[in-house]
């Protein structure tokens, strides 16, 4: 397995065995991921409401939302192509817990977005490694899509961090990110594995 470096220095590495557990129910995995992509687009647009006075931030967030919507549409198409049905949103206890720990301020919202993107990126990479022999998701176009998602979400993690640094300064962001990386590591390790990216 080639080494992987997440876009943020996550402090709890996901065991490789996680991917096998996530792939146990690929219909549920893709359904959950479709809902995640939809929520990622909404997050970007919601943050644009708060950074709308900055042209650079508005442009970046609109492109980011556009990419998430494209991911959402393509995951939905995949579910349909496999003959599956989009399952109801079961919620995301991991993201819910991070938001529960956060202040309502913009800095925390940007850093949570960055961290969730980074964790998604790590897990998409693990899925890509494990999916090669999978009877349905192992098809070449899906492996390519997973790789594209992984790279794109890495870019989003960097984008959210840089937006935070532009607004709050590097020192403030580094200090708060340090706190968040510990909270994220605690949170991800308490989540039971399921057919979902997190």
Give the DSSP H or E segment for 72.
helix 55-81
CB of 53 to Fe ion, least distance (A): 23
The label of the residue with tokens 């990126």 reads 121
Minimal distance in Å, beta carbon 74 to Fe ion? 10
68 is a site residue for Fe ion (CB under 5 A): yes
Residues with Cβ < 8 Å from 1, sequence gap 6 or more? 16, 129
Q: Which residue number, 123 or 156, has a Cβ lying nearer to Fe ion?
A: 156
CA–CA dist 172, 187 (Å, integer): 23
Site for Fe ion in 120-179 (CB under 5 A): 153, 156
Q: List the one residue from 71, 119, 123, 161 that touches Fe ion (CB under 5 A).
A: 71
Q: In the complex with Fe ion, which residue's Cβ is closer, 77 or 192?
A: 77
What is the C-alpha separation between 59 and 56, in angstroms, rounded? Answer: 5
By CB under 5 A, the residues from 23 to 62 that bind Fe ion are: 37, 40
Complex with Fe ion: residue 64 or 190, whichever CB lies closer: 64
Half-sphere exposure at residue 139, Cβ-oriented, CA atoms within 13 angstroms? 7
Residues at the interface with Fe ion (CB under 5 A) = 37, 40, 68, 71, 117, 153, 156
């Amino acid at each position: 397995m080639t080494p992987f470096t997440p876009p943020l220095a996550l402090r709890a590495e996901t065991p490789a065995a996680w991917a096998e557990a996530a792939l146990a129910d690929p219909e549920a995995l893709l359904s959950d991921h479709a809902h995640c992509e939809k929520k990622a687009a909404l997050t970007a647009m919601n943050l644009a409401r708060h950074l709308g006075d900055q042209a650079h931030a508005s442009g970046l967030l609109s492109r980011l939302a556009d990419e998430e919507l494209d991911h959402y549409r393509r995951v939905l198409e995949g579910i349909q192509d496999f003959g599956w049905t989009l399952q109801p949103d079961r919620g995301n206890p991991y993201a819910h817990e991070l938001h529960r720990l956060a202040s309502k301020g913009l800095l925390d919202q940007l850093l949570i977005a960055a961290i969730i993107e980074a964790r998604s990126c790590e897990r998409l990479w693990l899925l890509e490694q494990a999916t090669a022999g999978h009877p349905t998701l192992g098809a070449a176009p899906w492996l390519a899509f997973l790789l594209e998602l992984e790279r794109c979400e890495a870019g989003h993690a960097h984008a959210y961090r840089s937006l935070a640094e532009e607004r709050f300064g590097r020192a403030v962001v580094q200090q708060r990110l340090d706190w968040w990386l510990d909270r994220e590591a605690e949170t991800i390790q308490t989540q039971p594995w399921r057919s979902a990216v997190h």
